Structure 1
Amino acid sequence: MKSLLKVMLILGAIFASTFILGRVLGILTVENVQFWLEQAQTVDPLYVIGTVVLLLFIDLFVAVPTLTIMILAGYFLGFPAGAATAFTGSAMAAFAGYGLSRKWGDRAIGFLIKDEKQRTELEEAFYRNGPVMITLSRAAPIVTEVTACMAGATRMPFWRYVLFFSISTLPYVLIATYAGSISSLENPKPAIFGMLFLYLSLWIGWFLFRRSQGMTKRV
């Protein structure tokens, strides 16, 4: 488990550095995202769809405010169009991360973890805990991308990854975009309450997961 956490923390640090860089450069801020979507809306709603999909896809390479983008997708496109668009962009990023890591991830893990026994233990640990990690990955930024890469690198069957990714992401997208669709600049409360509900539910899930892990170890 230690090797798994080590690799995931390193991956998380890499993704986090892209987020910090984007904030420092002032590129991928919430204000900029909203401005781009507003400009796209003035041209054609299809441009909004393309912008949302592109922003969520590049989240694999440069961390973006994912939940905000999903809420804005609901605001600009309505429901369910915003939900379909947001899910498409998120799935493209996740599946690309899985595919790239399945092809080259074992080399990266071999570079970080030299001992073959520890690499085997890492794969076994993700096999046991990966489904829950993927399911609860929306609880915090970056974790979704990290678990996508770990699923590919450890050769989790693609259908299995898609199943748990969908269980994690589909309700998240539906709630976020619906909250955005019934929100406005004058009444942002639905979006705020939607964000709080999502994070509270996922954090409770992580708490229960960690508690069950601790109980299992004691047994």
Structure 2
Amino acid sequence: MKQLITVGLVLATLFATTFLILTTTGVLTVEGIEAGLKAASEVNAIYVIISVVVLLLADIFIAVPTLTIAILSGFFLGFGLGAFSATLGMALAGLTGYALCRLYGPGLLKKIYPDSHKREEMQSLFNQHGSTVLLICRAMPILPEVSCCMAGANRMPFVRFFTCYMVSTLPYASIAAFAGSRSSLDNPQPAIYAAIGLALFFWTAWAVFIRRTRTGEQQLQS
């Protein structure tokens, strides 16, 4: 499990660094995203759809506030188009991360772990736990991108990867968009409740997964 954690931390650090650079320089802020989407909505809804998809697709390269964008998509587009746009953007981000790391990830893994036995052990562990990780990858920021990249680098079968990823992503995007569609400046409670509810659900799932994984490893070692 240590190998998976190490690679995950390396990838997470890369994503977190881009987020910190963009936020500290003021290039990417929640206020800026909201203002941009508002301006786009005043022209044509198609521009909001494109903006949401592009922003969420960019999440695979630079960490963006995914949940906030999904909620705003519902706020500006309504539930149907908002959920579609958010789901499409997240799906494209996941597919891009998987594809890029399937092509170039093995080379990165060789640099991190020159020992082929350790790489084989990591691949075996990801094959064992990767599906679960993808199912609960929305537990925290950056984890979805890291999970997709690790799935590609470890050559997880595409159908299994995409199925698990979408089982997690589709409800997440839909709930966020629905909450956004029911929210307003005078009544932001639906968006707040959705954010809290989604966070608690996925955090709980992640905590259970970590606990069971550690328990299983301890039983094998004893």
Q: Does 1:30 align with 2:41?
A: no
Q: Does 1:171 align with 2:171?
A: yes
What is the aligned length?
Answer: 219
| Counterparts of 2:140 and 2:8, CA distance in 1 | 13
TM-score (norm. length: structure 1): 0.98
**Structure 1 letter corresponding to 2:12:** G
**Structure 2 letter corresponding to 1:189:** Q
Number of the residue aligned with 2:180? 180
1:102-181 equivalences in 2 (<5 Å): 102-181=102-181
1:1-219 equivalences in 2 (<5 Å): 1-219=1-219
SS in 2 for 1:27: coil
**Structure 1 letter corresponding to 2:80:** P
| Counterparts of 1:6 and 1:210, CA distance in 2 | 15
Deviation at 1:130, TM superposition (A): 0.7
1:39-90 deviation line (CA, Å, top 9, x unaligned)? 1011111000000000000111111110000000000000111001100011
**Structure 2 letter corresponding to 1:118:** K
1:188-218 deviation line (CA, Å, top 9, x unaligned)? 0000000000000001101111221132223
| Counterparts of 2:113 and 2:214, CA distance in 1 | 25
| Counterparts of 1:218 and 1:107, CA distance in 2 | 31
SS in 2 for 1:109: helix
| Counterparts of 2:218 and 2:41, CA distance in 1 | 56
**Structure 1 letter corresponding to 2:35:** F
1:156-213 deviation line (CA, Å, top 9, x unaligned)? 0111001100111111111100000000011000000000000000011011112211
Deviation at 1:103, TM superposition (A): 0.5
The CA RMSD measured in Å over matched residues stands at: 0.8
Deviation at 1:35, TM superposition (A): 0.5
Q: Which runs of 5+ in 2 are unaligned?
A: none
**Structure 1 letter corresponding to 2:181:** S
TM-score (norm. length: structure 2): 0.97
**Structure 2 letter corresponding to 1:48:** V
Q: Which runs of 5+ in 1 are unaligned?
A: none
| Counterparts of 1:214 and 1:15, CA distance in 2 | 26
